[in-house]
Amino acid sequence: MNKLLKIYFNKMRGGEKSPIRKPFSKILWSFIGAFIGIYLISVINQFLYGDTQNTLFLVGSFGASAVLIYGAPQAEFSQPRNLVGGHIISALVGVSVYKYLNFDVMVLSALAVSLSTILMHYTRTLHPPGGATALIAVIGSERVHEAGYSFVVMPIAIGVVILLLVALFINNLSSNPKRHYPRYWL
């Protein structure tokens, strides 16, 4: 038993060094993409609701998606299939869990995230911010809950399309041949 525990805890030591810092140009492109993507979603939120305090359109999981698609555009999790599919599947799961299951919010939260993870794996659309989208559908404001399945379309689908369009534009502006987006669509 001691040997098994030692092996188990040795796995947590890591062993590799952290990667070197990315070049400033890559950091700058990441900044520009994230800024424009989130800013455009914020502008649409302001236009639709006229109130910066009412951020129904500006979903927190979009921030994590922005880091992925602008900061690591070559990563598997960042590809359009993952970005769009991950958010939409997770939003559908989160809304369904909240709407149709009668458990306390702790169980609903765990179910929304875990079920969306299973479905993202199964559909090859794994996008970590999707788990946050599922969670937001459960723990979100009354306004999120009132939206029901329209939450999947607005803000989720529309916001994701905005982030994707900005990613296509910004990530392909660089003269660096290694910085392009996407690696694949389907």
| pLDDT tens digits, one per residue of 34-46 | 999 999 999 998 8
Token reading at 85? 């599919």
> Does residue 19 lie within any of the structural domains?
no
**Model's pTM, two decimal places?**
0.92
For residue 41, what are the CA distances in angstroms to 4, 99, 125, 150, 151? Answer: 50, 26, 23, 17, 15
- How does residue 107 score in pLDDT terms, banded at 50, 70 and 90? very high
Q: Which domain holds residue 63?
A: 24-170
Average confidence (pLDDT) over 71-81:
97
> Does residue 36 lie within any of the structural domains?
yes
Average confidence (pLDDT) over 56-80:
94
- Asked if the model's pLDDT at residue 88 lies above 90, the reply is yes
Please write the tens of the pLDDT for every residue from 175-184.
Answer: 888 889 999 9
Helical ranges in 11-57 per DSSP H: 24-49
- How does residue 83 score in pLDDT terms, banded at 50, 70 and 90? very high
> Does residue 12 lie within any of the structural domains?
no
- How does residue 52 score in pLDDT terms, banded at 50, 70 and 90? low
Cis, peptide link before residue 182, omega less than 30° from 0: yes
> Does residue 17 lie within any of the structural domains?
no
> Does residue 180 lie within any of the structural domains?
no
> Does residue 8 lie within any of the structural domains?
no
> Does residue 39 lie within any of the structural domains?
yes
> Does residue 182 lie within any of the structural domains?
no
pLDDT of residue 178: 81
Number of domains in the chain: 1
